[in-house]
Amino acid sequence: MSHSRSYERRVVLVMHLTWGFVFLDRMAQLYLAPYFAPELRISDAEVGLLAAAIAMSWALSSFCFGALADRVGYRAILIPMVFAFSALSIMSSFVRSFSDLLIVRVLMGIAEGPCWSIMNVIVQRASHPSRRGKNIGIVVSAAAVIGLAVAPVLTTQVAASFGWRAAFAVAGVPGIILGIVIWCFIDEPEREPVAARSRPGWRDLVDIARQRSIVLCAVGAGGFIGWLTLTNAFAPLYITRVAGRDGATAGFLLGAAGLGSVVVGVIASQLSDRVGRRIVLSLVSAASLLLPLFLLIGPLYDHLWLLAALLFATQGGQVMSALLIVIVPSESVPSRHAGAAIGLVTLVGEVFGATLLPSIGGRLAVSHGLSAPLLLAAASMSVVFVVTLALHEPGRTAVGNVASPSGPV
């Protein structure tokens, strides 16, 4: 089976949209919490539990089903999961209590987790090696474009006009459409000859977990996701409570950072195809380390456009999602293990970065003030920087061998 350049572009577009709406459905509960929490009598602590529960179920599912997809085929897992998370988003509109919502959102995390690892494997297999970083960067950028930019506007506007139940239902509809598109127009990635003769077994997962590059990427993923979560959670509070600015200013500054994440992500991911993954990751992580520190510099708030420009230039989240969690792990193992490698790194990153570090940051905020979790975010990114210095650059020949494109371009 061979594919043209046009097929490669189709895969990138469809997976970009699918990943964007996966992330929209995941984030919808955060944006809609002010609407459903009073009606369902859900406390702030329970809202936090919802976010932690979906992160954990997402992480475990990404690893388990990513590994299973390496064995049984990627479409066989991806298509049912796309329909499932869309249906579960719609089901969220029918819940009557916190326990109902918790069960539905945990199940949705289980359905969404594999989409992350499987979609990126499909994009890699469809991409020519010279465009792999660029294409993954485009797909990953959908989290910022749709999940962080479109999602809060769409969900809250629908909730304000028609109620939060309608907003959950609307959030699930695009996934059903995209599931049909994937079913009809996206092929099963071609397996390499070795994989066809010897599909991965569960014992192989132990070998993957022991590889130096996978261990380093997993540690780096924990630091990166911790940086991202801590910054997004505590920066608005710091800007409004400590810096003394209003919510609109906080939204403007974080919006500038989000826009920078998209622009920097696409450019830097494409650059990594030319100069290498390691050097790009090192430069981006060094710059991103500065982002939470800029927020702590009081005089910068008297020059909001300058502060916004600094945040724009130092938001490298999409680069690290693309390179540290997807490309480097999958280029470091045989292609038949790509789904498991991405899933394992995601699992570690979500457990430590999205669950453990935010809880530590919250306790530090109580005891030492809101600057403490932002300093912890900078420390987390410093771990990523050290990890990038220790990474071995995947060889250019090896890259082509590990995940060769599906056909000519």
pLDDT at 8: 93
State the Cα torsion 56-57-62-66 to the nearest 10°: 140
What is the pLDDT, as a whole number, of residue 345? Answer: 93
Q: What's the pTM?
A: 0.80
**Tell me, what's the pLDDT at 399?**
38
- Count CB-CB contacts under 10 A for residue 46: 16
Token digits of residue 295? 């927020």
- So what's the pLDDT on residue 336? 78
Query: What distance in Å separates the CA atoms of residue 369 and residue 378, rounded to the nearest whole number?
Result: 16
pLDDT tens sequence for the chain (409 residues)? 446 889 999 999 999 999 999 988 888 887 788 888 889 998 866 877 787 788 889 888 988 898 888 888 999 999 999 999 999 999 999 999 999 999 999 999 999 999 988 998 899 889 988 888 889 989 988 888 887 777 777 888 888 899 999 999 999 999 999 999 999 999 998 765 544 445 556 677 778 888 899 999 999 999 999 998 888 878 888 888 899 988 778 878 887 888 888 899 889 988 999 999 999 999 999 999 999 999 999 999 999 999 999 999 999 988 999 999 999 998 888 877 888 889 899 989 988 998 888 888 888 888 999 999 999 999 999 999 999 999 987 654 333 333 333 333 3
Q: What does the pLDDT read at residue 91?
A: 96
Spatial CA neighbour of 107 closest among 54, 60, 64, 34: 54
**pLDDT at residue 400, as a whole number:** 39
Q: What is the pLDDT of residue 42?
A: 84
User: Domains in the chain, please, with CATH?
Assistant: 5-188 (1.20.1250.20), 205-395 (1.20.1250.20)
pLDDT of 365:
86
The Cα angle at residue 44 between residues 41 and 50, in degrees rounded to 5? 85
Number of neighbours of residue 354 by Cβ within 10 angstroms? 22
Q: Look up residue 249 and give its two tokens.
A: 């200013």
